[in-house]
Chains A and B, each alone.
Chain A
Amino acid sequence: GREKVQSTYSVKIAAGAVVCVESEIRGDVTIGPRTVVHPKARIIAEAGPIVIGEGNLIEEQALIINSYPENITPDSEGVEPKTMTIGINNVFEVGCVSQALKIGDNNVIESKADVGRNVILTSGCIIGAFCQVNTCEVIPDNTVLYGSGCLRRVQTERPQPQTLQLDFLMKILPNYHHLKKTVKASQNPS
């Protein structure tokens, strides 16, 4: 297939998103409106593009990475770039690592949690602090993983979207940080 050089991609930031200039965003990344990306957050699209929806909150030192699976080298043939999709109203707390290819809406990945590549988060899931989830499964709606043994329970209601926090940050962050320029999402690459 065609060989694409990663460095030619630019980050597409929709209008209304607040992305601090100290954050590191590499590769083909699309960020939706009303999303806040804190400084020192890292979004790295290595093995494929990342599409982030609206209203997401990505805090400091969070790492969202679309990386190659362990046993495949970057140069091997026949590797289809898979797109990582992240829905709306998700929260990636400080220091978390997310490699999950498909994340739905209203999820919360708490501090220092580690979500593996083969996990699919649906809606309303909460991955507790420092929980390492590297199973190969779909986590059902409204599941909470907590504790050192990653115990689970099901909530009756989904976690609330952090609208207040997002509004506050969108007002305050530009006072202290430079922001990356918003770029209209380009047409589909031909």
Chain B
Amino acid sequence: METLCPCWVGEHPAEPKPDRVIYLVRGEKKTRSPLSQLYFCRYCSELRSLECVSHEVDSHYCPSCLENMPSAEAKLKKNRCANCFDCPCCMHTLSTRATNIPAPMPDDPTKTTMKKAYYLACGFCRWTSRDVGMADKSVASGGWQEPENPHTQRINKLIEYYQQLAQRERQERDRKKMARRRQCMPMAFSQHTIHVVEKYGLGTRLQRQRAGAPLSSLAGLTLKEGEDQKEIIIEPAQALDEVEPLPEDCYTRPINLPEVTTLRQRLLQPDFQPSGASQLHPKHKHLLMKRSLRCRKCEHNLSKPEFNPTSIKFKIQLVAVSYIPEVRIMSIPNLRYMKESQVLLTLTNPVENLTHVTLVACEEGDPEDVNSTAKVMVPTKELVLAGKDAAADYDELAEPQDFQDDPDVVAFRKSNKIGFFIKVVPQKEGDTDVLVSFKIRHDFRNLAAPIRPNEEAGDATTEAIWLTHHVELSLGPLAP
């Protein structure tokens, strides 16, 4: 099942399914997302979404050969893998295949021996490197070269010139700032200058400086004042009056459709942008990166993946689903305008200890309650959720705890999950989805080591704090 975060802007697939249960994140920007896409900072005791955390690159790796690469090396190779290629036709990964060709023996030209020749082939669209005229290589890997961009020299010169310009601008700005302020705040400097310099892609070195580094170390990396620097002069681009004319048969020549490249194929090779399929050369595969997330307020890491690209585990994984009780919709009856119906929801407790949950309907004029189209009556009594017991499936002799549930409110109870009813009265007629919202208030214990709950945490903070979250449920359209 595919879920789209509402804050994602990009190409939308055919029919994005609406997220059914969303939680409100009270950050700088109020975002609403399903709980599975949120993080929970247990130091601030608040929900965080991808928009209110800072993203940092951990490592680069190739998705097909899983080769790790430090960031500096990745930048040198323009974020591409050295060994793997992408099919220029369908963007799949190319595989190397071998054939046996007869080749004359080095000693005796008259006799032939079978030698292995390698070529690249795509398993999906059956493109081969022979289609564009690339000769078979005698080595399995490392023999394939991307064609050289004819404008490389000019581009490199331009980049050097602009980097120099950026350095100069940054130095002037820093000089001005230093003169103005007595107490220089290094944090303000570094962050600002890093942003400026990033404009022209300068400086992995500068980026690596953490906020708070003194300014002198920055200056040390670049030019010292007064040092002679080779002035880079570039010739300005010249505008030409005459343009190459179109070929004469431009309008009359019949199009050979298989030969015309699609826009996507063309733009993936910005160097050449060939219009003919016989000039589509394979490109090296783009690297992917592993990123770690950091809370902007308390600077603690929220998500830190393992360094090894073959491992999908996390060193630090403070995801919301492992701390906040999750509300899920179990069954929705036919909803009718202005008629009260009962909706069955489930509430799951992710932590090991007992949790008390109270649901509160939103008040009139609640600024967070903007989308709801129905009135909701939530159970007034406090709901108690049992702790998550990992061994519950295997321990058949465990006595079920007696919670004395009100059968009008609690439909069923199963280890750390309960099903409960809410009453919904749709207030709006028409085609819009019925949306209800309420607040969920639960107690949260900030354990010292939440991964090992059985440890005797005698003096650890076991005092509970009460957290309130705003939850919105989308119950689908009214019954016809």
B136 CB to closest chain A CB (Å) equals 13
- Give CA–CA (A157, B97) in the complex, Å: 15
Decide if B90 touches A155 in the complex (CB within 8 Å). no
Looking at A126, A147, A155, which has the most chain B CB atoms within 10 Å of its CB?
A155
Decide if A146 touches B258 in the complex (CB within 8 Å). no
Decide if B124 touches A155 in the complex (CB within 8 Å). no
Interface residue? B319 (CB, 8 A)? no
Interface residue? B277 (CB, 8 A)? yes
Interface residue? B125 (CB, 8 A)? yes
CB contacts under 8 Å to B, within A144-168, are 144, 146-147, 151-157, 159
B305 CB to closest chain A CB (Å) equals 31
Given contacts A146-B90, A147-B90, A152-B258, contact A157 B130 (CB under 8 A): yes
Closest to B258 in A: A154
Chain B contributes a number of interface residues (CB within 8 A of A) equal to 12
Interface residue? A128 (CB, 8 A)? yes
Given contacts A128-B124, A146-B126, A147-B125, contact A156 B90 (CB under 8 A): no
Interface residue? B131 (CB, 8 A)? yes
- Give CA–CA (A143, B259) in the complex, Å: 12
Closest to A156 in B: B131
Contacts of A147 in B (CB 8 A): 90, 124-125
Contacts of B127 in A (CB 8 A): 153, 155
- Give CA–CA (A144, B258) in the complex, Å: 10
- Give CA–CA (A159, B123) in the complex, Å: 12
A151 CB to closest chain B CB (Å) equals 8
CB contacts under 8 Å to A, within B245-299, are 258-259, 277
Closest to B124 in A: A146
Decide if A153 touches B130 in the complex (CB within 8 Å). no
Decide if A156 touches B130 in the complex (CB within 8 Å). yes
Interface string of B119-156 (1 = CB under 8 A from A): 00000111110110000000000000000000000000
- Give CA–CA (A144, B126) in the complex, Å: 7
A125 CB to closest chain B CB (Å) equals 11
Interface residue? B89 (CB, 8 A)? yes
Residues of B whose CB lies within 8 Å of any CB of A are 89-90, 124-128, 130-131, 258-259, 277
| Given contact pairs A144-B126, A153-B127, a sample of 7 additional A-B residue pairs in the complex whose CB atoms are under 8 Å apart | A126-B126, A146-B124, A153-B89, A153-B258, A154-B259, A155-B127, A156-B128
